[in-house]
């Protein structure tokens, strides 16, 4: 095959695989399409298998992170921690759906900031579903919070989204420098998302929340699970401050907490291991391989050169265009491959901090438009299916069209207020 044919075939396979992840034809799980696309690249010798394995290995930190979080979520769910926390939230709501909505939004923000957006999707979603059952209200308006805040608050801290660490790489700003860049844009995104989401769900927030009677005390295993999640948050902040990868600490913390709870409760690990959503791991690996195939076509280095020249000529305009373009692109191809491509371009182009920050906001916040725009939202969908809930592409898009654009524009505007002229 000619070089042009190879490049076109690579882009076609990557595009079809991504479309499969987004649309899920035949209701097949997302990972099947990503893995099939990666396998096809290797089968047609468009990407040598050695390079494909090396690309998959780049996701090791992400795999460790996800496993740790999923273990924490599953052990907490099985020990009743989520049901107990849900009852507390309903009691604080004092029969007010609007107050319950605000409580869940605040909790979602805190979880995203200190445990990451993936943790919000994995850990918080079951708790919110339990809260809506206890409150006897329609669950979806409150479940939407878990999806939207997972992206809206995902650039408050470097640890709020693993994509942040991937995108900045070795150029990761110190914590204070990070806050100077992202504190105001994060506040704008969080507030704008809340107001827009509250507006879209206003018809559901006039319902009366049921009262909670006597609460059963939290089990010892549930207490250990809650303490483990809190300790994991501290470990992640410390690892981030030291510039360490987050995957292995999360995996170790999740494994130790799970082992401790199982020993205290004298339970078998099989139920927990069986209920963990392992399919997300081949999904991520497949996406890493697809991005490596695209990188070999030479398009990404060409984009890096164009972006570098544009940033040198007009950094503010480049920031706006890059942020919006990446936000839209994240919904077309998912923000995990978009983040990987953006990281490759950023490292090659050596972009100014504010241009990189605008790209990161697009990667993190842009996916609030579509239901498969981010890995966190896919994890949220998987968590919903376990509770027999389902959200269609159109349902999410109707909300996303109202929620995402104003939050993105305000976040980019807030970022560029602090940019050098």
Structure-block tokens of residue 40: 């096809």
pLDDT at 172: 72
pLDDT computed for residue 170 by the predictor: 62
* Residue stretches of the chain with pLDDT short of 70: 1, 169-170, 213-215, 243, 419-421
Q: What is the structure's pLDDT at 410?
A: 97
pLDDT at position 420: 62
Where along the chain do its domains lie?
Answer: 3-417
Please say whether the beta carbons of 276 and 386 come within 8 A. Answer: no
Q: Beta-carbon neighbour count of residue 273 at 10 Å?
A: 12
C-alpha–C-alpha distance, residues 395 and 79, integer Å:
32
The two structure tokens encoding residue 92: 């604080």
Strand partners, 208: 96
Count CB neighbours of 64 within 10 A: 20
Q: SS3 of 208, please?
A: strand
Tokens of 193: 């998302």
How far apart are alpha carbons 135 and 414 in whole angstroms? 37
Q: Summarize pLDDT for 302-351 with one digit per residue, the tens.
A: 888 888 888 888 888 889 999 999 999 888 777 877 887 888 787 777 78
For Cα atoms 77, 124, 269, give the angle at the middle one, nearest 5 degrees: 25
pLDDT at 124: 83
CB 410 within 8 A of CB 189: yes
Determine the Cα–Cα distance for residues 237 and 214; give it in Å rounded to an integer: 36
At residue 11, the pLDDT reads 81
Q: Which residues does 153 contact at the CB level (< 8 Å), separation at least 6? A: 108, 109, 112, 113, 117, 160, 186, 189, 190
Which tens digit of pLDDT belongs to each residue from 408-421? Answer: 999 999 998 876 65
3-state secondary structure of 276: coil
What is the CB-side half-sphere exposure of residue 334 using CA atoms within 13 A?
Answer: 30
How far is Cα 105 from Cα 110, in angstroms, rounded to an integer?
A: 9
């Amino acid at each position: 095959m000619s070089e042009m044919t190879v490049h076109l075939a690579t882009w076609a396979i990557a595009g079809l695989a991504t479309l499969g992840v987004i649309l899920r034809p035949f209701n097949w799980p997302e990972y099947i399409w990503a893995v099939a696309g990666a396998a096809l690249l290797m089968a047609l010798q468009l990407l040598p298998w050695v390079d494909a394995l090396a690309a998959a290995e780049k996701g090791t930190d992400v795999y460790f992170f996800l496993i740790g979080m999923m273990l924490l979520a599953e052990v907490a769910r099985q020990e009743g921690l989520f049901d107990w926390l849900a009852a507390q939230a309903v009691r604080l709501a004092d029969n007010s759906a609007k107050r319950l909505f605000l409580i869940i939004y605040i909790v979602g923000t805190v979880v995203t900031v200190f445990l990451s957006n993936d943790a919000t999707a994995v850990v918080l979603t079951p708790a919110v579903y339990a809260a809506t059952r206890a409150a006897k209200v329609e669950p979806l308006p409150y479940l939407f919070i878990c999806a939207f805040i997972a992206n809206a608050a995902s650039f408050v801290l470097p640890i709020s989204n693993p994509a942040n660490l991937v995108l900045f790489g070795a150029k990761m700003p110190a914590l204070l420098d990070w806050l100077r860049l992202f504190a105001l844009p994060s506040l704008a995104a969080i507030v704008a998302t809340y107001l827009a989401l509250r507006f879209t769900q206003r018809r559901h927030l006039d319902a009366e929340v049921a009262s909670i009677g006597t609460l059963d005390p939290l089990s010892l295993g549930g207490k250990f699970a809650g303490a483990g999640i809190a300790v994991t948050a501290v470990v992640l902040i410390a690892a981030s401050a030291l510039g360490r990868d987050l995957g292995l600490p999360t995996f170790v913390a999740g494994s130790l907490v799970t082992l401790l709870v199982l020993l205290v409760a004298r339970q078998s690990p099989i139920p927990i291991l069986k209920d963990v959503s392992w399919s997300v791991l081949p999904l991520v690996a497949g996406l890493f391989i697809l991005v490596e195939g695209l990188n070999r076509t030479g398009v990404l280095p060409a984009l890096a050169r164009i972006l570098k020249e544009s940033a040198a000529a007009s950094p503010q305009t480049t920031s706006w265009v890059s942020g919006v373009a990446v936000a839209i692109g994240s919904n077309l191809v998912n923000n995990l491959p978009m983040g990987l491509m953006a990281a490759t371009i950023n490292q090659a182009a050596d972009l100014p901090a504010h241009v990189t920050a605008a790209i990161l906001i697009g990667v993190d916040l842009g996916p609030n438009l579509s239901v498969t725009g981010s890995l966190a939202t896919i994890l949220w969908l998987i968590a919903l299916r376990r509770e027999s809930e389902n959200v269609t592409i159109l349902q999410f898009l109707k909300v996303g069209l109202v929620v995402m654009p104003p939050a993105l524009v305000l976040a980019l505007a807030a970022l560029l207020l602090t940019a050098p002229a």
